[in-house]
Structure 1
């Protein structure tokens, strides 16, 4: 049996902007994207106009991993914080540095990219959307 864990990010109306940002910063590929307005209509639950452009579900492929997104409904924002962090693992220091530099744009560095006892290049950065990333570079074998 195969088991896969995927990180799922719920945004407060900024999912489309976040997806564009991660395409650039992480070289992500969009596998699926759908707005609430593109979903089949339900006459029992009509959508307000301001919801129709928000993302109901999106899936990005980032390397060998999957990152999923949706927007919340207006008036019901997700709680920001460090309840979820995403660990990006690479075996190439230059790629770790590129990712770190891209994610810190408009964000906040929690720990600069540096050598640690467990990694030749490790960092923590909260991006401009409030998502905490750990960047872990594997040691050469």
Structure 2
């Protein structure tokens, strides 16, 4: 069975928001900045300090987020500032779910092995709901 977690997008406020959420909900905060990712050397100093990924465990779930990069054409507005992040139990299940959700939708990032070690892709389904499929790659 897969797990589902909410994924939020912010316009430069992800770290501030999550420190606030942590002050209310508790938990250990994980923050990774854009400057830690390959290929971000050309970003402005301000965008390098934006959050690439932040996670806050809440019970058996994880609240996650990132900051949008305006230089890459991303904008956080109501309606696109969230994703449903789905973590299937296998790579095959990740492929099956991704392809099914992509039918009639728009693939934002194809499923592929990522630099952080997981198999990841994102899309908007035919109903306008945004999904992230992330399989914790144990095949390599």
TM-score, structure 2 as length reference: 0.50
Contact 2:10–2:81 under 8 Å retained in 1:
no
Contact 1:29–1:62 under 8 Å retained in 2:
no
Aligned to 2:57: 61
**In 2: Cα distance, 1:83 partner to 1:14 partner:** 12
RMSD value, Cα: 2.8
**In 1: Cα distance, 2:25 partner to 2:10 partner:** 18
Deviation per CA, 1:87-113: give whole Å up to 9, x if none. Answer: xxxxxxxxxxxxxxxxxxxxxxxxxxx
**In 2: Cα distance, 1:50 partner to 1:69 partner:** 18
**In 2: Cα distance, 1:68 partner to 1:16 partner:** 11
**In 2: Cα distance, 1:34 partner to 1:11 partner:** 14
Structure 1 gaps, min length 5: 85-141
Pick the aligned partner of 1:80 from 74, 78, 81: 78
Aligned pairs, number: 82
Return the index of the structure with the highest Cα Rg.
1
**In 1: Cα distance, 2:67 partner to 2:27 partner:** 19
**In 2: Cα distance, 1:83 partner to 1:47 partner:** 21
Judging changes above 3 Å, is the alpha-carbon distance between structure 1 residues 22 and 38 closer, same or farther for their aligned structure 2 residues? same
**In 1: Cα distance, 2:23 partner to 2:55 partner:** 15
SS at the partner of 1:22? helix
Contact 1:54–1:71 under 8 Å retained in 2:
yes
Divergent runs of 4+, >4 A: 81-84
Pick the aligned partner of 1:36 from 24, 34, 37: 34
